Amino acid sequence: KLLISNQDELSIHFHQLIESALFFGFLTRVKEENIIYLIPTNVYEEFMEQPTEQQYPLFLLALAHNETVSEVLQVQLNDPIYDNISREMVYNILVGDPNIQQESLSSDEIKGIANNFRYWFLNIKKMVLVD
């Protein structure tokens, strides 16, 4: 869920949402005659056809097929303390991802993604790995 309090934030969050959907394989970008189209993929179609309770596991499965996401999660599973070394490992994995290279993200933007992965990982761990 996105909480938007002003128009500028809406633009930023919309852009981030679209970029995330592209990165995780739910959308594909096609350019024809200098017009860019965003097309839902089969992964998205399958996701939308599932009942709500099945969407989250399907979402996680789709993400696990992304090599970068898988590597980042492995770092976090194997290193429960998210210190400077593991943060740098995640950063280096992200820098090597072709999608991130194509977007020409700044170092700070990539660091932001690395931090978001950590928060996301902790939320998944809390929901899936019940103590």
Please, what sign has the CA dihedral across residues 28, 56, 54, 64? positive
> Can you tell me the mean pLDDT for 79-105?
83
Give the start-end residues of each E strand in 1-131: 27-32, 35-40
- pLDDT for 116 beyond 60: yes
CA 128 – CA 131 distance, rounded (Å): 9
Nearest-angstrom CA–CA distance, 84 and 121? 17
Q: Which of 26-30, 42-46, 67-71, 117-121 has the lowest mean pLDDT?
A: 117-121
Give residue for tokens 């350019």: 31
Q: pLDDT at position 41, please?
A: 92
Helix axes 84-95, 67-78, angle to 10 degrees: 170
Overall pTM surpassing 0.85 (yes/no)? no
CA angle centred on 96, ends 95 and 100, rounded to 5°: 60
Indicate whether 4 pLDDT > 90: no
Task: Please write the tens of the pLDDT for every residue from 38-56.
Answer: 899 998 999 899 998 888 7
